[in-house]
Structure 1
Amino acid sequence: GGTLICDEEEIVEKRIVSGVTMSRDEARITLLGLADRVDAPADVFTRLAEANVNVDMIVQSQARTAGTVNLTFTTGRRDAQRAAELMRAAQDQIGFEELRVDEDVAKVSVVGVGMRSHAGVAQTMFKALADKGVKFQAISTSEIKISVLIDAAYAELAVRALHSAYGLEAV
């Protein structure tokens, strides 16, 4: 055999990621045209917490209408309808224009140690997904995990692409 020469950064990055996980027990709820009040997100998440609805990913973005934002969060599928009903029942108090629920989503994560201190980990993930045409609707990061919310139809494809990108054994 010969000597395999590769980039040290590449080796470190591949070793940082120890696995890929996938969950189909996800639902995405979006409040469109939420009043851009400083207390609006607290109002939303207080109502959900009081009803014991666990929230995972949260994304707030500018809405088309001035003075409003779109607030998206994910929850377990079994809590989605209850969360939607809570939001609809309090629509006037919370102050949003439209509610959307999507239960056809999956969360795919790459897991490892010390991810925040290695910039290439996220880039590798995003490129691997982009190369397969997988769009993501939300992203969350922590010290041990980077997760993306995607259309459930792409879940297996995404998992395979990420296993390949990080040099992990196929599942």
Structure 2
Amino acid sequence: VSYEEMLEMASLGSKVLQIRSVEFASKYKVPLRVLSSLIDNPVGTLITSEENIMEQAVISGIAHNIDEAKLSLIGVPDEPGIAFKILKPISEANIEVDMIVQSVSAREGLTNFAFTVHRSDFDKAQAILQGICDELSAMGVQTDDKVVKVSLVGIGMRSHAGIAAQMFEVLHQENINIQMISTSEIKISVVIDEKYLELAVRSLHSAFELDKE
């Protein structure tokens, strides 16, 4: 596993390593090996530079984060600066925003703006949105604090097309609705209902053969 992949997994909720330890190892190019304390003579997982990895797996791991809550401002004017007007008071309240999705509303000229925050900030963020709803001529506020984020991480995504489609197909086969999507060069994250967390992780592990030794 590369430093970059482990940093992504740590930031996405994986409890394998503390993120600062990976940052220092990456900075000074120090290889790390994570071993299990539950078995004798474990092989473990080597964390090193990408160029030192002979065979790069497409997907290195799956991470999940249960500390998620989703808020949506429905039917706001689709105009320049609307995202700033929504997120400025959120930022001023020192609320960290994770995923953001802006989508077209059913009504012409309007848009829906959704984002996720830590659950500890949910009530405060909800109060802020309620407070600016009339000011922004929004139709209403929708919230859900029963969501989780599930992420695939792998440097192999850079050279393999179709990983997102495969992930979405697996979730579709389990009848799991995807509420939000976020992607980067080596990561795909989705927000789903928390009741499907175990099923989603187990199904993705199997589909991408991460359950094989």
The TM-score bracket by the shorter chain reads 0.7 to 0.9
Specify which of 140, 143, 148 is matched with residue 101 of structure 1.
143
Distance in 2, Cα, partners of 1:54 & 1:121: 29
Distance in 2, Cα, partners of 1:71 & 1:141: 18
How much does 1:57 deviate?
Answer: 1.1
Alignment pair present for 1:59 and 2:101:
yes
Alignment pair present for 1:18 and 2:63:
no
- State the identity %: 43
Superposed CA deviations along residues 72-105 of structure 1, whole A, max 9, x for unmatched, are: 1111111111111111112222331100110011
Letter in 1 for 2:67: D
Letter in 2 for 1:108: V
Distance in 2, Cα, partners of 1:30 & 1:125: 25
How much does 1:113 deviate?
Answer: 1.3
TM-score by length of 1: 0.86
How do residues 73-92 of structure 1 correspond to structure 2 at under 5 angstroms? 73-92=115-134
The worse-fitting range, judged by mean Cα deviation, of 79-88 and 14-23 is 14-23
Off by >4 Å, runs of 4+ in structure 1: none
Superposed CA deviations along residues 114-160 of structure 1, whole A, max 9, x for unmatched, are: 52442221122111111111110110001221000001110100000
How do residues 19-168 of structure 1 correspond to structure 2 at under 5 angstroms? 19-168=61-210
The worse-fitting range, judged by mean Cα deviation, of 132-141 and 110-119 is 110-119
1:106 partner SS: strand
Cα RMSD (Å): 1.5
Q: Which has the higher contact order (CA 8 A, sep 6+)?
A: 1
Distance in 2, Cα, partners of 1:51 & 1:26: 18
Distance in 1, Cα, partners of 2:76 & 2:156: 36
Residues 71, 126 of structure 2: 8 Å contact kept: yes
Letter in 2 for 1:147: S
Residues 116, 142 of structure 1: 8 Å contact kept: no
Structure with max Cα Rg: 2
Gaps of 5+ in 2: 1-55
Distance in 2, Cα, partners of 1:17 & 1:58: 24
Residues 25, 76 of structure 1: 8 Å contact kept: yes
Residues 114, 143 of structure 1: 8 Å contact kept: no
Gaps of 5+ in 1: 1-13
Residues 59, 156 of structure 2: 8 Å contact kept: no
Higher percent of residues as strand: 1
Letter in 2 for 1:33: G
Distance in 2, Cα, partners of 1:45 & 1:117: 35
Superposed CA deviations along residues 37-65 of structure 1, whole A, max 9, x for unmatched, are: 21111111111111111111111111122
